[in-house]
Amino acid sequence: MLEVQNLVKNYGDFQAVKGVSFNIEEGEIFSLLGPNGAGKTTTISMLSTLYTPTSGDAVIGGHSVTKDPMAVRGVIGVVPQDLALYEDLTARENLIFWGQMYNLSGKALHARVDEVLEQIGLTDKAKDRVKTYSGGMKRRVNIGVGLLHKPRLLFMDEPTVGIDPQSRRAILDTVKDLNKQGMTLLYTTHYMEEAEELSNRVGIIDHGELIAIGSQKELTQQVGQSETLILHINENDDPQALIPSFKGITDVLEANVIGAEISIITPSAKDVLASVVSKANERGIKIRSIDIREPNLEAVFLHLTGRALRD
């Protein structure tokens, strides 16, 4: 469905995207996982023909984004990170307006708007002005706009940012339902748990570079199926002071401070636990509690980049 070929985007001397290449198969959910500023939105913007690549290309449904952008736009739907809605209009009016932009009209347009409203769970609120909606409801209308013309490939750029947990759950369920109906999706996020729940495969991106691609199992295997030991220490203690001590312990692969916590990546948490506690005691730092996490995408990102997804 999508083949990205060495995509580059420069802004003067700054390179926002650095030779990104990946493929997405038809019927797949592929997530780009990375922190804010990693290059996810710039990549989506080039793939959706909003930005012209500095170099490289992408082929979507057989059409080149650089040579035939209008044909690409007929294949894709886009749910941008920033809301693209008219708040003084109702949800139905917004969908009718955007449907007309896709050359839908008459009974076909109104029937499709009804289908989309049901799909996003807003049929009963269709006549309310968007400015009266919660953030999560606005996000759902934003998704509806991207679905109107029944795209083969849907781009969703951080669709759950800044919304409540209930609305987030509704959006994630919508993504999975769309995929069950046969839609291919490219989903960007900095939430590890979203990528884990939704994705057939994940591309980890940081500082404009795609540094790893694979299923969750494949990615965790790349870093040796490591576990993560999370130490919660007293607020008055300095977690950074412990890092040099931990890095000298056998089987401690990475040790990093994330907020008031210390994250330690290791092949076996139970084998290093006694040494870790001993080092903390030597420094006079009290550990309030300890969590052990199974291998996950956050651990993979931390191992590959040396920093957390969300600092």
Tens-place pLDDT, residues 259-304: 778 888 888 888 899 999 999 898 888 888 998 877 778 878 887 8
287 within 8 A of 277, measured Cβ to Cβ:
yes
**Boundaries of every domain in the chain:** 2-219, 226-294
Radius of gyration of the chain from its Cα atoms, rounded to whole angstroms: 22
C-alpha distance from residue 6 to each of 20, 37, 47, 82, 111 (Å): 5, 19, 12, 26, 41
Of 157, 13, 135, 20, nearest to 77 (Cα)?
A: 157
According to DSSP, residue 247 is labeled: T
| Residue 164 CB neighbour total at 10 angstroms | 12
| Residue 133 CB neighbour total at 10 angstroms | 19
Return the CATH number of 226-294, one of 3.40.640.10, 3.30.70.100, 2.60.40.2140, 3.40.50.1400.
Answer: 3.30.70.100
129 within 8 A of 87, measured Cβ to Cβ:
yes
Q: At what angle do helices 135-147 and 106-119 cross, to 10 degrees?
A: 140
292 within 8 A of 269, measured Cβ to Cβ:
yes
Return the CATH number of 2-219, one of 2.60.120.200, 3.40.630.10, 3.40.720.10, 3.40.50.300.
Answer: 3.40.50.300
According to DSSP, residue 159 is labeled: T
For residue 90, what are its two tokens? 């109702």
- Which residues 6+ apart lie within 8 Å of 272 measured at CB? 229, 249, 250, 251, 252, 264, 266
Give 167-213 pLDDT, tens digit per residue: 899 999 999 999 999 999 999 999 989 999 999 999 999 999 999 99
| Residue 27 CB neighbour total at 10 angstroms | 13
Give 58-106 pLDDT, tens digit per residue: 999 999 999 999 999 999 999 999 999 999 999 999 999 999 999 999 9
Alpha-carbon distance 284 to 268, whole Å? 25
